């Protein structure tokens, strides 16, 4: 097949968006479901083409030569709109199309009857198209273009139920916080263009490799890019938007805020990795921020009672792992975790959506006992939880083990943090499992309809598919094939990799820590050997710190934005504008008026007075001439 | 040239104004239709000129569609018109807005004859400014614009309309007085009123009666008031806020661009050396305008006032691009003028529609209108994200060009820092735009707005036109930059770049 077809991967969902947004209106009344069908059909096409592209890249071992389009802006800035269809892109395409397709199928059930059904699918199509464009783009300008587009879609979908003030606030917050990071990205683009005259990613790779782009310029460019990545991937200190983003519909959280868009930051660092790997400062920054974010977010995940918020903090934490993986191990290791994480985390969110579909709430304190009522949701959720906890031989185990092994070699301190995070991850995930599915049902949302029930097949089916992937996706690198595909590492036989890993001590330690986490969760939330309240009481200050998210939201929104900027600095400027600048203008005007009034008094029309003035004038002149002449 | 395109484009609206003013027994309906016809023909003609505009490289810097008649031989003043790559997009912008504001004003029922006559006269004067190549003619058109503007604001405006109108007039006259002094000095030193001739001849050879820098700043002050540049901006929020919707659209859309246009056409082209020497303070003023404008915008609670203030910030990008004095940055500045004209025009049109339909403009009292206004919310949001520079809209590519051009221009050391500070403006812009959209449209539907109507069919026509232009330039910027570079590259040549 001709390589032009790669363009269709990105164009199909775009067409889907255009059709739904512009042409579907007349059919909405009679055929409301058409929007979903069109989206799913387009994504099926994209998925098929992505699989084909992956096969081709695997077969040739080279980026596919996809024809490009010249997008001339003006002399001095000519950009070729091209696609970079290499190994990294091939993997990302699979992630995006698979998860997106599953989420869209699921959404048909989840969004059924919603007044904004077609709007939902229009935005989802646009998002998927932008995300695919982002991973396919071959130059930084177009990466930035799609980067902003996914941000816009995220904004629109978080605020999907815009009549809720909390959703509207969360949407705005997400956009502005990530834009703060984008500011760094844009500055990096300017710096790179100024120094190299190009934004082509392949050329930048070679410039960094040959040392033409080096020194502080390279470091600052890399740090700027990482600022953008940290905004999108919710890394400390720009992480605060992601938990709030859970205000969007749950399938949106699964697709955008778990599997794909938030991983775009990790992807961006991987995409420009030569810029990082040639700067020790930059690559260390990535590792440290990632490692810190992993444990920092996990601590907050320990205490949340809203199932989606736990998953949100878990996502931040896992994204931190990916960054850590990139920082200590390179592209293959970071991206492999991204690949696995996408499936099990999307599945966890779909599970949470399924649970809330049944109970009408996201508050785990009102759930419980859903194991019997929702067997499919329970089974798939459990698989995903085991996978994220890193239990052998599920997907999460393989990628997490590689990150830990590289961290041990390069950054011992971060390694210890990462090991503690392994324990916390297992604990908070199984806390969710036991609180939600174990014990007996605690009533759900009092205002919700009827008894809880298993979700319809259209929602269960995608969960089963993702559960299978959550088991097997990690097997890709058992033989070292994934690493080899991404350009480094050696391969060995499957059996050797599958069982051989257990001959090392590191996997045993991490498995033990994960096991301990699960056991503790069991002890507290299922067997109730320990009471959650008493433990919370023992660690009261810590518990409060975690529960209040380290008071960072307050610090940012109330203190910094609210007081320092809006009520302080900006209000000061506004006061200056009204009383200073405008006041001066009005002052000059009234000054002129007053002068006029004063002088007018002299013009009384009385000749005697004029005569007096003339007389005084003559005397003054004569006096001057006499004294100074 | 057989057909005097530019004369027709400029004076058809004025002719329309005369007919509307003096034709007896015209119904309001007839007035509107006449206005529509007499603004549509100039639009069609200018689009036609755009298509036949010669874009070949050897035509760079050459005025096209030139017309020249002797006007006052004693002082060498000519009726001299012509457009190049710099003025053509602005002329089209004005013709485009000129037609659309007639549609936007369709519902005006207070003294419609006078209203449309003034509106059309306003269009003629602004078109004249962009097309004049003779300094005296330029100044004449520049001054005529004040008169219709004064009446439009003070009669059809809202709020403190008389105050705002007179403030606008005094500010403008202050600027024009400086400008007139500058123009006279230019005339007495060069003996010519021909803008192209003066720019090409250069001032280096001529013994100037007063320092070139003084003339430069006299002219610049006039333009800086119009653009506006901090601290000469305080007329803008009042005039924009109190003007009727259509006039706000013209003010923000086309009138501010007279300032940016004048800076490039006269200040930079005639005094490239002075512009270079004084680039640093002007770039600093640009950054202040960007950040200060954005910060003050964030504090506004009146829908129109918020959009008005945002113009100060966005025009700061123009100033930055102009005095970075590079090929890319000047192109960016020219594109930003066009782009901002369309985007802010749409923002004001939408704000007017919200105010008209909901009867409320205080952002603290609005809310939940997305339910009642499903079409307006989409269009307003498109205009909003274009204003905050989202890719695929013209706002992105224009600002990006300014940033890239300024960052790499090297006109003064440290311009990179200034540029990065300017980039910071996009974060604040995102803040106020999203806040505004949220306050107007999101949240629970409010009871007092239950009966509020959405856009009418006529509204949808002009909305579609605005969005089409914003997206077209955003996705395919070469459609304009190909033309703009024809006007910019000779100027860059003068700069010795």
Burial class, A227, CB count within 10 angstroms (exposed 0-12 / middle 13-18 / buried 19+): buried
Question: Average pLDDT of A540-567?
Answer: 81
C-alpha span between A189 and A198 (Å, rounded): 10
Output the CA torsion sign for B201, B206, B212, B218. Answer: negative
Question: Average pLDDT of A55-78?
Answer: 78
B404 touches chain A (CB under 8 A): yes
Structure confidence at residue A250 as a pLDDT band (50, 70, 90): very high
**Is the model's pLDDT at A74 over the cut of 80?**
no
| CB contact (8 A) between residue B443 and residue A168 | yes
C-alpha span between A88 and A83 (Å, rounded): 12
Least confident span in A308-322, A606-620, B411-425: A606-620
**Is the model's pLDDT at B202 over the cut of 70?**
no
* Three-class secondary structure of residue A214 per DSSP: coil
C-alpha span between A130 and A152 (Å, rounded): 10
Higher-confidence residue of A446 and A616: namely A616
Percent residues over pLDDT 90 in chain A:
41
B375 touches chain A (CB under 8 A): no
| CB contact (8 A) between residue B419 and residue A190 | yes
| CB contact (8 A) between residue B296 and residue A148 | no
Question: Average pLDDT of B338-346?
Answer: 95
| CB contact (8 A) between residue A163 and residue B443 | yes
What single string gives the DSSP state of each residue in A505-526? HHHHHHHHHHHHHHHHHIIIII
CA distances from B35 to B41, B99, B102, B130, B250 (A): 10, 8, 7, 21, 15
Higher-confidence residue of A74 and A395: namely A395
A148 chain-B contacts, CB cut-off 8 A = 390-391, 396
A581 chain-B contacts, CB cut-off 8 A = 230-231, 233-234
**Which position has the token pair 């033409």?**
A212
- DSSP-assigned letter for residue A434: H
Report the candidate in A64, A135, A139 with the shortest Cα–Cα distance to residue A96: A135
Higher-confidence residue of A230 and B230: namely A230
A171 chain-B contacts, CB cut-off 8 A = 434
* Residue B496 Ramachandran class (φ > 0 left, ψ -120 to 50 alpha, else beta): left
What single string gives the DSSP state of each residue in A520-566? HHIIIIIS-SS-HHHHHHHTHHHHHHHHTGGGHHIIIIIIIIIIIII
Q: Which of B299, B426, B443 sits opposite A570 (nearest CB)?
A: B299
| CB contact (8 A) between residue A566 and residue B299 | yes
| CB contact (8 A) between residue A570 and residue B404 | no
B390 chain-A contacts, CB cut-off 8 A = 148-149, 152
* B 328-367 residues with CB < 8 A to A: 328, 331
pLDDT digits (tens, 9 = 90+) for B449-477: 888 888 889 999 999 999 999 999 998 88
Q: Which of A163, A172, A566 sits opposite B444 (nearest CB)?
A: A163
Cα A41 to the center of its chain, rounded Å: 26
| CB contact (8 A) between residue B430 and residue A175 | yes
CA distances from B407 to A276, B213, B414 (A): 23, 26, 9
C-alpha span between A3 and A65 (Å, rounded): 7
B444 touches chain A (CB under 8 A): yes
Q: Which of B292, B298, B438 sits opposite A172 (nearest CB)?
A: B438
pLDDT at B206: 57
Percent residues over pLDDT 70 in chain A:
99
pLDDT at A117: 86
* B 129-188 residues with CB < 8 A to A: 167, 170-171
Output the CA torsion sign for B112, B117, B120, B122. Answer: negative
Q: Which residues contact B399 (CB under 8 A, 6 or more apart)?
A: B317, B332, B336, B389, B426
B396 touches chain A (CB under 8 A): yes
| CB half-sphere exposure, A251, CA atoms < 13 A | 27
pLDDT at A75: 66
pLDDT digits (tens, 9 = 90+) for B383-416: 999 999 999 899 999 999 999 999 988 888 889 9
Distance from the A159 Cα atom to the nearest Cα atom in chain B, whole angstroms = 9
* Three-class secondary structure of residue A395 per DSSP: helix
- DSSP-assigned letter for residue A579: I
* Three-class secondary structure of residue B108 per DSSP: coil
- Burial annotation B326-351 (CB, 10 A radius, 16+ → b, else e): bbbbbbbbbbbbbbbbbbbbbbbbbb
Structure confidence at residue B53 as a pLDDT band (50, 70, 90): very high
C-alpha span between A21 and B72 (Å, rounded): 59
- DSSP-assigned letter for residue A248: S
C-alpha span between A76 and A367 (Å, rounded): 61
Report the candidate in B319, B89, B320 with the shortest Cα–Cα distance to residue B226: B319
Could you tell me where the DSSP H helices lie in A197-247?
201-210, 215-232, 241-244
| CB contact (8 A) between residue A74 and residue B485 | yes
A158 chain-B contacts, CB cut-off 8 A = none
Question: Average pLDDT of B245-255?
Answer: 93
pLDDT at A24: 78
pLDDT at A503: 81
Question: Average pLDDT of A188-216?
Answer: 88
Q: How many helices (H) and strands (E) does chain A have?
A: 29, 2
Question: Tell me, what's the ipTM?
Answer: 0.88
> How many residues are given for chain A?
629
Residue B70's H or E segment, with its range, is: strand B64-72
| CB contact (8 A) between residue B299 and residue A74 | no
**Is the model's pLDDT at B135 over the cut of 90?**
yes
pLDDT digits (tens, 9 = 90+) for B281-291: 999 999 999 99
* Residue A504 Ramachandran class (φ > 0 left, ψ -120 to 50 alpha, else beta): beta
| Smallest CA–CA distance from B483 into chain A, residue | A74
A21 chain-B contacts, CB cut-off 8 A = none
Mean pLDDT for all residues in chain A? 87
Highest mean pLDDT among A413-427, A521-535, A566-580: A413-427
* Residue A281 Ramachandran class (φ > 0 left, ψ -120 to 50 alpha, else beta): alpha
Q: What is the largest CA-CA distance in chain B?
A: 72
Residue B82's H or E segment, with its range, is: strand B77-83
Q: How many beta-carbon contacts under 8 Å exist across A and B?
A: 131
CA distances from A511 to A53, A398, B54 (A): 36, 11, 73
B162 chain-A contacts, CB cut-off 8 A = none
Cis status of the peptide bond prior to A394, with omega within 30 of 0: no
B364 chain-A contacts, CB cut-off 8 A = none
**Is the model's pLDDT at A565 over the cut of 70?**
yes
What single string gives the DSSP state of each residue in A312-343? HHHHHHHHHHHHHHHHHH-HHHHHHHHHHHHH
Q: What is the largest CA-CA distance in chain A?
A: 121
Q: Which residues contact B387 (CB under 8 A, 6 or more apart)?
A: B310, B314, B343, B344, B347, B395, B429, B433
pLDDT at A72: 65
pLDDT digits (tens, 9 = 90+) for A308-355: 999 999 999 999 999 999 999 888 889 999 999 999 999 999 999 999
Residue of A18, A21, A25, A74 to mutate for B, most B C-beta atoms under 10 A = A74
Residue B386's H or E segment, with its range, is: helix B374-387
**Which position has the token pair 């350009």?**
A487
DSSP β-bridge partners for residue B79 = B69
A163 chain-B contacts, CB cut-off 8 A = 368, 370-371, 442-445
CA distances from A623 to A609, A611, A613, A618 (A): 21, 18, 15, 8
> Pairing mode, if any, of strands B64-72 and A77-81?
unpaired
| CB contact (8 A) between residue A190 and residue B396 | no
Structure confidence at residue A5 as a pLDDT band (50, 70, 90): confident
C-alpha span between B315 and B323 (Å, rounded): 13
Report the candidate in B143, B163, B144 with the shortest Cα–Cα distance to residue B153: B163
C-alpha span between B189 and B208 (Å, rounded): 5
pLDDT at B203: 62
Tokens (6 digits) for A103: 């989420």
Question: Average pLDDT of A192-221?
Answer: 88
pLDDT digits (tens, 9 = 90+) for A343-388: 999 999 999 999 988 888 888 888 888 888 889 999 999 999 999 9
pLDDT at B470: 95
pLDDT at A629: 64
Contact B127, B9 (CB under 8 A): yes
**Which position has the token pair 């991204």?**
A338
DSSP β-bridge partners for residue A64 = A85
pLDDT at B164: 92
Q: Which of A76, A180, A585 sits opposite B234 (nearest CB)?
A: A585
B490 touches chain A (CB under 8 A): no
B233 chain-A contacts, CB cut-off 8 A = 581
pLDDT at A329: 84
Distance from the A186 Cα atom to the nearest Cα atom in chain B, whole angstroms = 8
Least confident span in A26-35, A140-149, A543-552, B254-263: A26-35
| Smallest CA–CA distance from A179 into chain B, residue | B427
pLDDT at B208: 59
pLDDT at A73: 64
B441 touches chain A (CB under 8 A): yes
pLDDT digits (tens, 9 = 90+) for B349-372: 999 999 999 888 899 989 888 888
Contact A313, A243 (CB under 8 A): yes
**Is the model's pLDDT at B1 over the cut of 60?**
no
């Amino acid at each position: 097949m001709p390589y032009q077809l790669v363009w269709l991967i990105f164009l199909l969902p775009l067409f889907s968006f255009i059709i739904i947004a512009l042409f579907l209106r007349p059919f909405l009344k009679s055929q409301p479901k058409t929007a979903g069908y069109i989206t799913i059909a387009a994504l099926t096409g994209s998925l098929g083409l992505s699989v084909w592209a992956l096969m081709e890249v695997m077969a040739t071992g080279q980026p596919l030569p996809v024809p490009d389009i010249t997008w001339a802006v003006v002399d001095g800035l000519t950009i070729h709109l091209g696609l970079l269809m290499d190994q990294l892109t091939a993997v990302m395409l699979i992630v995006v199309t698979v998860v997106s397709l599953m989420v869209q199928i699921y959404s048909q059930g989840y969004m059924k009857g919603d007044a904004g059904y077609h709007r939902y699918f229009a935005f989802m199509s646009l998002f998927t198209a932008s995300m695919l464009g982002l991973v396919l783009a071959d130059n930084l300008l177009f990466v930035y273009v799609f980067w902003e587009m996914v941000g816009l879609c995220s904004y629109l979908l978080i605020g999907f139920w815009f009549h809720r003030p909390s959703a509207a606030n969360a949407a705005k917050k997400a956009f502005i916080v990530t834009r703060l990071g984008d500011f760094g990205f844009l500055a990096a683009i300017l710096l790179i263009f100024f120094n190299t005259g190009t934004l082509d990613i392949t050329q930048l790779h070679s410039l960094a490799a040959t040392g033409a782009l080096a020194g502080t310029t390279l470091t600052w460019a890399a740090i700027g890019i990482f600022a953008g990545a940290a905004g999108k991937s919710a890394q400390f200190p720009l992480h605060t938007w992601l938990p709030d983003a859970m205000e969007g519909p749950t399938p949106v959280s699964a697709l955008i805020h778990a599997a794909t868009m938030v991983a775009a930051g990790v992807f961006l660092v991987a995409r420009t990795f030569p810029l990082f790997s040639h700067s020790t400062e930059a690559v260390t920054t990535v590792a440290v921020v990632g490692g810190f974010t992993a444990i920092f977010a996990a601590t907050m995940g320990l205490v949340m009672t809203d199932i989606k918020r736990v998953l949100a903090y878990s996502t931040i934490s896992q994204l931190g792992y990916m960054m850590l993986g990139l920082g200590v191990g390179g592209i293959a290791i970071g991206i492999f975790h991204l690949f696995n994480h996408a499936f099990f985390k999307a599945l966890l969110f779909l599970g949470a959506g399924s649970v809330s579909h049944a109970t009408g709430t996201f508050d785990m304190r009102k759930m419980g006992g859903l194991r019997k009522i929702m067997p499919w949701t329970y089974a798939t959720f459990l698989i995903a939880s085991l996978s994220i906890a890193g239990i052998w031989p599920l997907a999460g185990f393989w990628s997490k083990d590689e990150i830990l092994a590289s961290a041990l070699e390069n950054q011992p301190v971060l390694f210890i943090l990462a090991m503690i995070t392994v324990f916390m991850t297992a604990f908070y995930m199984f806390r969710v499992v036991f609180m939600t599915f174990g014990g007996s049902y605690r009533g759900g949302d009092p205002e919700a309809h009827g008894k809880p029930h298993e979700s319809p097949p259209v929602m269960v089916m995608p969960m089963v598919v993702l559960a299978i992937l959550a088991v097997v996706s990690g097997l890709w690198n058992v033989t070292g094939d994934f690493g080899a595909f991404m350009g480094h590492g050696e391969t060995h036989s499957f059996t050797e990799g599958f069982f051989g890993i257990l001959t090392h001590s590191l996997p045993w330690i991490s498995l033990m820590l994960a096991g301990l986490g699960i056991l503790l969760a069991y002890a507290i939330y299922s067997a109730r050997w320990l009471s959650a309240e008493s433990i919370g009481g023992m660690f009261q200050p810590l518990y409060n710190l975690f529960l209040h998210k380290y008071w960072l939201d307050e610090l940012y929104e109330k203190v910094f934005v609210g007081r320092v900027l809006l009520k302080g600095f900006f209000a000061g400027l506004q006061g200056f504008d009204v009383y200073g600048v405008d006041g001066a203008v009005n002052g000059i005007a009234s000054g002129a008026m007053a002068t006029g009034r004063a002088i007018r008094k002299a013009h009384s029309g009385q000749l005697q007075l004029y005569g007096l003035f003339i007389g005084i004038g003559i005397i003054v002149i004569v006096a001057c001439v006499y004294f100074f002449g | 040239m057989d057909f005097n395109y530019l004369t027709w484009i400029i004076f058809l609206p004025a002719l329309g104004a005369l007919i509307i003013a003096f034709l007896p027994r015209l119904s309001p309906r007839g007035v509107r239709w006449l206005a529509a016809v007499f603004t549509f023909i100039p639009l069609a003609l200018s689009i036609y000129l755009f298509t036949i505009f010669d874009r070949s490289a050897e035509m760079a810097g050459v005025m096209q569609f030139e017309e020249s008649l002797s006007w006052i031989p004693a002082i060498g003043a000519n009726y001299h018109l012509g457009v190049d790559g710099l003025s053509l997009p602005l002329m089209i912008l004005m013709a485009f807005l000129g037609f659309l504001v007639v549609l936007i004003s369709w519902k005006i029922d207070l003294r419609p004859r006078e209203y449309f006559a003034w509106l059309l006269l306003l269009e003629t004067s602004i078109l004249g400014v962009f097309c004049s190549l003779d300094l005296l003619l330029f100044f004449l058109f520049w001054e005529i614009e004040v008169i219709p503007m004064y009446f439009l604001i003070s009669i059809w405006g809202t709020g403190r309309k008389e105050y705002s109108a007179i403030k606008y007039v005094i500010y403008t006259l202050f600027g024009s007085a400086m400008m007139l002094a500058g123009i006279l000095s230019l005339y007495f030193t060069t003996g010519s009123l021909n803008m192209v001739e003066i720019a090409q001849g250069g001032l280096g050879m001529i013994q100037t009666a007063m320092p070139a820098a003084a003339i430069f700043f006299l002219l610049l002050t006039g333009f800086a008031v119009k653009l506006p540049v901090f601290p000469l901006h305080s007329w803008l929020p009042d005039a924009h806020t109190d003007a009727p919707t259509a006039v706000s659209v013209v003010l923000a859309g086309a009138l501010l661009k007279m300032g940016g246009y004048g800076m490039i056409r006269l200040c930079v082209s005639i005094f490239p050396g002075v512009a270079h020497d004084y680039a640093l303070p002007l770039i600093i003023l640009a950054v202040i305008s960007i950040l200060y404008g954005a910060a003050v915008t964030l504090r506004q609670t009146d829908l129109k006032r918020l959009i008005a203030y945002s113009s100060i910030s966005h025009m700061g990008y123009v100033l930055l691009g102009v005095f970075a004095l590079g090929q890319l940055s000047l192109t960016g500045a020219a594109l930003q003028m066009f782009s901002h004209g369309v985007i802010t025009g749409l923002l004001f049109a939408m704000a007017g529609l919200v105010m008209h339909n909901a009867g409320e403009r205080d952002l603290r009292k609005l809310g939940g209108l997305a339910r009642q206004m499903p079409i307006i919310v989409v269009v307003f949001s498109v205009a909003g994200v274009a204003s905050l520079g989202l890719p695929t809209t013209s706002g992105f590519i224009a600002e990006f060009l300014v940033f890239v051009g300024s960052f790499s221009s090297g006109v003064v050391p440290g311009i990179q820092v200034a540029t990065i500070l300017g980039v910071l403006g996009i974060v604040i812009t995102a803040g106020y735009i999203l806040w505004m959209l949220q306050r107007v449209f999101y949240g629970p539907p409010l009871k007092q707005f239950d009966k509020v109507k959405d856009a009418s069919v006529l509204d949808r026509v002009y909305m579609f036109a605005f969005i089409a232009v914003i997206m077209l330039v955003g996705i395919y910027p070469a459609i304009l930059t190909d033309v703009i570079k024809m006007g910019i590259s000779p100027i860059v040549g003068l700069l010795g770049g």
